[in-house]
Amino acid sequence: METRPDLYYSEEHEWVRVEGDLAYIGITDYAQDSLGSVVYVELPSPGARIKKGDVLGVVESVKAASDIFSPVSGEIVEVNEELNDAPELINEDPYENHIAVIKMEDTTELENLMNHTEYEEFIEKEEV
Amino acid sequence: MVESVKVITTDIKNPWINLALEEYFLINQSRGEATLFLWQNKDTVVIGRNQNPWTECNLNLMEEENIRLARRISGGGAVFHDDGNLNFSFILNRDSYNVERQCGVIINALKLLGIEAVMSGRNDITVNGSKFSGNAFCFRGKNGLHHGTILVNANKEKMARYLNVSREKIEAKGVSSVKSRVINLCEVNRELTVDTVKKAVIKAFEDEYGSKGEHIYFSCNDKDIWPKDSKFREIITRNGSWEWNFGETPDFNISLKKRFNWGGVEIYFKVDNAVVQKADVYSDALCEEIILRLPELFAGTKFDGQELSNKLLKNKETFELEKDAQVKEQVLGDIASWLKDEL
């Protein structure tokens, strides 16, 4: 399972890429692999405020519907509209296809997330 | 690893409460627990998490015949539930969640009743090549939900009527249902009842996951044992709301067309979160001043026949009706009642 060193990870299998106060959020390779072929992604509304732990969207695959929880709080400044017409991009490259971009209110929330080695250990434990 | 087993049954037939119980169990499932929940709904169409009720079911007929609409949290397509259908839900930690194993419980239950069933694809369980069980799935945190229907003696005629709709006028994103040939288990064995199937599923579940199951029964007459948590009440309220069942629909476009004795009208609605974002209205009727004002009136209104119709009628006095008042009033009235009936 691929992880990338430049990302933060949540226990719900989301990744976060930080650019200044912007957080790009997507689902991990592990998440897309366990979901299987994605058939629909419900995106949030740009402009909406969201709190850490709120539902950011839903990914539905041939196997299951799965809520995506926001790992940080802030304002949704952009959503990845490409996923509307091509939800399979999540399977093809989960780290290059974010779901939404959040302008973070509190960057200290990132401290609760894992780095890539911690996340790899976390997945291993889940697998047992 | 499954360490403890719970079997939950109920006589509640309200889909919004049953789905709330199920979601509540999913959220609160402890580590090492495996839960089986068996439930039935009174006449209800249940659509998948990312489906469009306008394309999946016959809403007008459902309203006429008092059929409820419910949206579930799992993926997949639309199904009809009635007294002849038994629903099962397996709730497991993700590390002990395994679709083949869970379907095996249903297959073993039928074996106990002398019926040979097999899994077909990921979502169906069939007997003699026809589907009697549709399955759907949802992951939430560390837990997985696998639920499905078992048609024992459901009303197939009703099922076909509520789930068949013409979709050519709608361009929709989201998830569409897959049609299958369905069979009631009573067509295989006339003696079968929902109750015998229920007992067999419980037996097969306990055989698979360990027999020291705790049995819990939720009665609609004994609310004292319902979950006290406000989260549970919240989910019930959400499940019954327009915002959930209609409002959660993926964005879509729909066109409507009708000829009246004063001319033809075509309306194109762009609908986001079940609210009209934009309406284009075309007509060869002579009362242009009415037609031209319709888009601004419709924009921002809930995509609901009654709401759109009310919007027109409530704004009647803002139209300049002095000239050709009678014709104009008829045009407004006709469009209003058409939208009310059509949607």
ipTM confidence: 0.77
B174 part of contact set with chain A, CB < 8 Å: yes
Spans of chain B below 50 pLDDT: none
CB within 8 Å: B138 and A65: yes
pLDDT of residue B321: 67
pLDDT of residue A5: 96
CB within 8 Å: A12 and B138: no
pLDDT of residue A63: 86
Nearest CA to B90 out of B76, B80, B100 is that of B100
pLDDT of residue B167: 63
- Look at chain A and report how many structural domains it folds into: 1
Q: Give me the CATH number covering residue A78.
A: 2.40.50.100
pLDDT of residue B121: 84
pLDDT of residue B114: 96
pLDDT of residue B168: 64
Domains of chain B with bracketed CATH: 4-245 (3.30.930.10), 252-342 (3.30.390.50)
For A86-97, the pLDDT digits (tens) are 999 999 999 999
pLDDT of residue A93: 96
Q: Could you say which residues from 261 to 280 on chain B have a Cβ atom under 8 Å away from some Cβ of chain A?
A: 273
Residue B213 DSSP SS3? strand
Q: Is residue A74 part of a domain?
A: yes
A42, A63, A127 ranked by CB distance to B122: nearest? A63
Cβ contacts of B173 on chain A, cutoff 8 Å: 40, 84
B48 part of contact set with chain A, CB < 8 Å: yes
Cβ contacts of B50 on chain A, cutoff 8 Å: 40, 42, 58, 60, 65
Q: Is residue A64 part of a domain?
A: yes
Nearest CA to B281 out of B262, B263, B297, B268 is that of B268
Alpha carbon separation from B259 to A21, A121, B330 (Å, rounded): 55, 66, 14
Q: Could you say which residues from 288 to 317 on chain B have a Cβ atom under 8 Å away from some Cβ of chain A?
A: none
Query: Containing domain of residue A77, as a range?
Result: 8-106
The amino acid sitting at B215 is H
Alpha carbon separation from B30 to A123, B14, B41, B90, B141 (Å, rounded): 19, 26, 27, 14, 12
* Positive or negative: CA dihedral B326, B328, B332, B338: positive
Average pLDDT over residues A47-65: 92
C-alpha to C-alpha distance for B9 and B194, rounded to whole angstroms: 13
What is the token pair recorded at B290? Answer: 């009415």
Q: Is residue A90 part of a domain?
A: yes
Other CB atoms within a 10 A radius of the CB of residue B234 amount to 12
For B120-159, the pLDDT digits (tens) are 987 899 999 999 999 999 998 889 999 999 999 999 999 9
Nearest CA in chain A to B122: A63
Alpha carbon separation from B76 to A25, B131, B167, B298 (Å, rounded): 25, 15, 18, 31
Q: Is residue A117 part of a domain?
A: no
